[in-house]
Amino acid sequence: MPALPPPPDAPCTISTLLQYAVKAGLPALEARMLLTFCSGLSRTALITQDQTTPSEAVRTAFLQRVARRQQGEPMAYLLGEREFFGRMFAVSPAVLIPRPDTETLVEWSLDVLRDEETPAVLELGTGSGIIAVTIALERPDAHVLATDVSAAALAVARQNAADLSADNTTFATSDWYAAIEPKARYQLIVSNPPYIAADDSHLREGDLRFEPAGALTDHACGLSALRTIVSGAPARLAPGGWLLVEHGYDQGEAVRGLFQAAGFAEVTTRRDLAGQERCTGGYWPGN
């Protein structure tokens, strides 16, 4: 990582601050996004007012974020938000950053719920809540229970549900099915669990270095959380209900095997926008 150049002396103009960020190695777009965030000025105002001098507080906040970005910290954490399925969601380092790949899982969820009235939906490992809240907003008649083992993650998910008025979402702390009411039955169980193997070198690269390890890896072979979710689903699904999970691009065959062993029917895999096997699902025919 190249050393950070010495910051410009105060006071300095918007133009000087943006030039500094680019010299520090940031793409110009990221520099503008960070300055918009720190100053409250629009992207247009940054251009039309580029010879004005922001306050010392703005200058300091911006330079701090440029330094953090230069060290590799993800933009989503520096801005505190990321778009998913057309809506903005709050994120913090307590949760995984929303990825476009996961839209495949949400679209499939909405497909299987199409003919269900007032469906009961369970999401395991909700993180920032993007899946549960999106389903709840797209299907206002649904009742969505979103769970996570991390209290810090649930706080972010609750905030997103409140900010987006997803009033049909409830939250519970649970280690997968541990705290789920045994008699409850769902039309859909959905999960994007940690599925990266502990020895996968990707965990030490890019954004993943800054994300919560517990949201990324099962600290084992990558399949252990998926195995717990798939094997426990038949006892919680209504007959004809669906289980849909996200997984790694190279785990499709193994995950289909888990579904088949648990007695699921119509076990299929969908690909993400990049053409990679990304989600597997099946329906529970009943005992």
Residue type, 23: K
* DSSP symbols for 93-115: TTSPPP-GGGHHHHHHHHHHHTT
Nearer to ligand GLN, 185 or 219 (CB): 219
Nearer to ligand GLN, 90 or 226 (CB): 226
Cis peptide before 7 (omega within 30 of 0): no
Closest approach of ligand GLN to the CB of residue 265, in Å: 25
Using a CB cutoff of 8 Å and minimum separation of 24, what contacts does 213-217 make? 214/149, 214/150, 215/95, 215/96, 215/125, 215/127, 215/150, 215/153, 216/96
Strands 277-283, 81-84: pairing kind: unpaired
- Between residue 7 and residue 36, which ones bind ligand GLN under the rule CB under 6 A? none
Closest approach of ligand GLN to the CB of residue 192, in Å: 5
Nearer to ligand GLN, 2 or 275 (CB): 275
Size of the site for ligand GLN (CB under 6 A): 11
Mask for 189-228, x = binds ligand GLN (CB under 6 A): ---xxxxx-----------x-------x------------
Closest approach of ligand GLN to the CB of residue 168, in Å: 25
Contact predicate 217/197, CB 8 Å = yes
Q: Does 101 bind ligand GLN (CB under 6 A)?
A: yes
Taking CB under 6 A as the criterion, the residue among 87, 99, 143, 270 binding ligand GLN is 99
Percent helix, strand, coil in the chain, to 5, is 40, 20, 40
Binding interface with ligand GLN (CB under 6 A):
96, 99, 101, 192-196, 208, 216, 246
